[in-house]
Amino acid sequence: MRLTGARALITGGSRGIGRATAERFAAEGARVAILYRANDDAAHAALDALPGVPAGPHVLVRADVADPDAAPRAVDEAADVLGGLDVLVNNAGVGGRHRIDEDDYAAWRAAWERILAVNLVGAANVAYAAGRHMLAHGGGRMVFVSSRGAFRGEPDQPAYGASKAGLNALAQSLAQQLAPHGVSVGVVAPGFVETDLAAERLAGPAGDAIRAQSPLGRVARPEDVANAALFFADPASSFATGAILDVNGASYLRS
């Protein structure tokens, strides 16, 4: 198995892409720490779905990555329980509609502060804490879950698009900074994914048009993104550090 013995922390790991990634990594032999914010029922269901590994049990860690004090404590807790940290998947993210032509200034500012606090600043703080563990123990792999919105724009949620563009720059900066220390960094950039967050829109009037954006006639499944994350988490892919892998079914092609 490709991740036998690896110790992996996955933020936002209780649902959607995070849960699928946790299951994929566990099936490949990793011990997994699922970091989640608030939904205990979803987190325990995700934990119970993970296949066991001989090296020891998986674990749940509860924290809000937007809290600059809680984020590093959660990483340290996961590393303590797992006995170290080899892989980080920075997946936790939020979005939300906000437009200049619809919202007042207070709502506009609130959206930017909330979304960037989780998607960019929170991811940076988690990466710092995880990176310190990796530097102390000879290296590791980081995977950032971004979005095609970082490239094509997100007119209904510009803070989301901006946060993901910033996440790409953060990941590629860390790829250069950390490569001499044995830490590789990759980015997965999906389009629409069949998750709870997208379910209402996919089931609504826009659903058919969204699926038609891809010549495959569908949106991504969480497992599609998990497979891409596995590529970067595999030590054999370390020379791909700094790369951004699009997982959008050719719905958006960038040069």
How far is residue 182's CA from residue 138's CA, in Å, rounded to a whole number? 6
Question: Is 160 annotated in the active site?
Answer: yes
Closest to 211 in 3D by CA, of 195, 228, 188, 193: 193
How far is residue 37's CA from residue 124's CA, in Å, rounded to a whole number? 17
- Which residues lie below 8 Å from residue 79, measured CB to CB, with a gap of 6+? 7, 9, 85, 130, 133
- One-letter identity of residue 205: P
Among residues 36, 105, 160, 252, the one annotated as catalytic is 160
- What's the Cα-to-Cα distance from 184 to each of 25, 122, 220, 242, rounded to whole Å? 17, 20, 25, 8
User: Any idea which residues carry the catalytic annotation?
Assistant: 160
